[in-house]
Amino acid sequence: MTASQVKRAFKYRFYPTDAQAAELSRTFGCVRKVYNLALAARTEAWARGERVNYNQTSSLLTGWKRTEELAYLSEVSSVPLQQCLRHLQSAFAGFFARRGKYPRFKSRKKSRRSAEYTSSGFRYRDGKLTLAKMSGPLAVVWSRPLPEGAVPSTVTVSQDAAGRWFVSMLCDDTPAPVPETVKAVGIDAGITSLVTLSTGEKVTNPKFERKDRARLAKAQRELSRKARGDGANRAKARRKVAGIHARIADRRRDHLHKLTTRLVRENQTIVIEDLTVRNMVRNHTLARAISDAAWTTMRTMLEYKSAWYGRTLVTVDRWFPSSKLCSACGAVAERLPLNVREWTCNGCGTTHDRDVNAARSILAAGLAVSVCGAGVRPQRSSPGGLSATKQKTPRREP
C-alpha cells in the first residue's frame, strides 16, 4: 500500500547561547505585544461595527514600528510578528464561523512563549538551523533525522514553563507504508485499565500523575511559601513544579504514542467511543484519574495515525450502551452500576467481564457502521421509557 504525503512536525530540543536566549526572549515579548495591540485595534473596530482584516493590521504594525514608544519592535525579526497577525486572523475567522470563542489577550506569565518563522526567517543547510537576526546556528539535539530531502516550510521556537527550549519543524513527509490486514479491534477506555481491547487484552493504566503526586505536592508546598513577585527563589520553585508536570506529560505522551502506533499497525479497522471528556471531568471524584488517562490525546493520535497509514477509525455514538449490551445475544441489562465488573446476561446466561464485553460490543457496532454507513444509536428502551446508555457519567439534562 502506498502512503500519501502528509504535513508532519518534527520537534527537537535545543540549547541556546545566552545571546540567542536573550534574542528569542525579546522576540517572544514582541510577538505577544503585537498580538495584543492588533487584538485591541480589532476589538475597538468591532465595537464600532467595523471589521479589520490581516492587511490592515499589517499596516498598523508598520506604523507602530515608526513610533518612539514601540520602536523596539524593529529590533527583532519581522517574520514572527507577521505570523502572529496571521494567527489572530485565523482566530477571528474561527470566531465568525462559530468554531471558537472570541480571541483573548496574551498574558506575560500564562501565555505560551513561542515564535513562528516562515522560510524567509530561517536558513536550514547541512543539518544546521539558523534563525533571522542570529549570527550562528542553534545547538539542536537531532534525536531523529528529518525525512530525506525534506525542506522545512515553517519553524516554531518555544520555551516551556520548565525553561526547556524546543524547535518544531514542519515538513512534507511520506509515512512508511504498512501492510494491509483484515484485523479489527474495538477499544473501551477506562481508568484501572487504560484500554480494554475486544481481543480480551487489557492495557494497564500507568497513572503517571499518581506516581509523581508526592513529589509534585512537596514542590507546590515549597512554591507556596515563597514570597510573591518576580524573585529568583520563587522563579526557581516555579520551574521545579513545572519540571515535574513536564516529566509527567512526557512519560504519558510517550506511552500513548507507543500504544496507538501498535494499534494502528496491527489493525485495519479501529472502533472507539465518542466520549465527552469535558463533561466527564465534572465528576470531581474521577476528574483527576480521567485527566491522567488522557483519553482525548489518545483519540487524537489514533485519528491522525489512521489517516497516515490508511486505516479506518470508526467512532461509536457516546450513548451506545456498550457495557450493558450483551455481546453474545444483544440483550440489554436494565441496570449495571459501575462497581459491578462482571455480570451474567439474563437472556443467554453468558458471564461477561464488563470492559471486555463493552469492547466487543463497540467493535460489533463499529463494523455495522462501516458496512451501512449509518450512525450507531440503537433505540432500545428500558422499562422506565429511558434510552439505555453506558453508565460512565449521567447524562445532563439541557
| CA–CA distance, 397 with 91 (Å, rounded to integer) | 31
Query: 139 has which bridge partners?
Result: none
In which residue are the cell numbers 471589521 written?
51
Quick count: other Cβ atoms within 10 Å of Cβ 47?
A: 8
How far apart CA 321 and CA 317 sit, in angstroms, is 9
216 and 245 Cβ atoms separated by less than 8 Å: yes
Q: From CA 250, how far away is CA 143, in angstroms rounded? A: 15
Which DSSP helix (H) or strand (E) runs through 140? strand 140-141
Task: Identify the CA nearest to 263 among candidates 214, 220, 291, 299.
Answer: 299
Q: Is the Cβ–Cβ distance between 185 and 370 less than 8 Å?
A: no
Return phi, psi of residue 322, to 5°. Answer: -65, -40
Please return the burial class of 380, using the count of CB atoms within 10 Å of its CB with bins 0-12, 13-18 and 19+.
middle
Name the nearest CA neighbour of 169 among 31, 8, 21, 5.
8
β partners of residue 197: 187
Q: Could you tell me where the DSSP H helices lie in the chain? A: 18-47, 54-66, 78-96, 208-211, 213-224, 232-266, 277-280, 287-293, 295-308, 354-372
Which residue numbers are catalytic?
188, 273, 355
Run of H or E residues at 314? strand 312-316
DSSP state of 28: H
